[in-house]
Structure 1
Amino acid sequence: MTEEKIWSLIGFLEVSPARKKTFKAIGDAEYILPSNICRKTDLTSSQVSNALKDLKNKKLVVCLNEEVSKGRLYKCTDLGLEVLTKLK
């Protein structure tokens, strides 16, 4: 991944406090539930849901069990982990 692309993704995170908090809450965890993200960040479930959708679209996070409607597990992708190391 180019430096320019990484900085572009960091800008994408910085403009939305909910996205940034959600992304940092996932961090380098093996997996995390959206409800746990809500508890860690004090964000509402709809804020976390919207942030996760945006983060998935940018390939920063992945859902490990997309086929279920409850109990979805999320983790950072390799790209997400690369961005996470530069994010303050």
Structure 2
Amino acid sequence: MRTQDIEKLLNDNKKLNEENKELKKENTELKVKIKELNYNLNSIQEDHISKELDSKIDYETFDEVKFTHKFNGNKEDMSIISFLARSNKRVDILKSLEETPKIPSIIAKEIGDSSHHVSKYLTSLKEKELVICLNEEDKRFRFYRITAKGKHYLEIIENKKY
């Protein structure tokens, strides 16, 4: 092979390497844009599902018994108040659910925590009957709502009536 041919091949190779780097950069930028679009689309879908579900729910159906408990500082009251007072995140979750049912990822965005942590908090709040899952059978997009009991104890915590 002649020297001139080798130089031409080296130059061609160099140009192709530069083009490859540029394409990789563009590919990375496109991936970021796609992730942003997917995130925005998921948010829009979650909001739509939440509004649609909210319009169809008869909330009284989900409270098995109307909660009419008066605070009197008994052992159960103090246990739940202590449970809530130990974690601002639990209280933040209850506040987030005051207006409308939500899924963990939306709550997580609102309170600045991970969906994983919010799901754990919701499980413990559910065990104390402070929240209820409206569609337990679903594995994704589980909607949670604060119960009358949850509202009662949230009011106590917020107003420091203990």
CA-atom RMSD, angstroms?
Answer: 1.5
Which has a greater percent of helix? Answer: 2
| Matched-pair contact (CA < 8 Å) for 1:37–1:48 | yes
Superposition deviation, residue 44 in structure 1:
0.8
2:108 pairs, out of 23, 34, 38, with 38
TM-score by length of 2: 0.50
Question: 2:81 touches 2:153 (CA, 8 Å); kept in 1?
Answer: yes
**Is the radius of gyration larger for structure 1 or structure 2?**
2
Q: TM-score, with normalisation over the residues of structure 1? A: 0.86
1:3 aligns with 2:76: no
Distance in 1, matches of 2:131 and 2:104, equals 12
Contact persistence 2:91–2:154 (CA under 8 A): no
The whole-number CA distance in structure 2 between the counterparts of 1:30 and 1:6 is 25
Q: Distance in 2 between matches of 1:82 and 1:6?
A: 10
Correspondence for 1:67 among 137, 141, 146: 137
> Share of identical aligned residues, percent?
33
* Structure 1 range deviating more: 61-70 or 1-10: 1-10
CA distance in 1, matches of 2:143, 2:72: 29
Q: Runs of at least 4 residues of structure 1 off by over 6 A?
A: none
* Greater relative CO, 1 or 2 (CA 8 Å, sep 6+): 1
Equivalent pairs, count = 87
What displacement does 1:29 show?
2.1
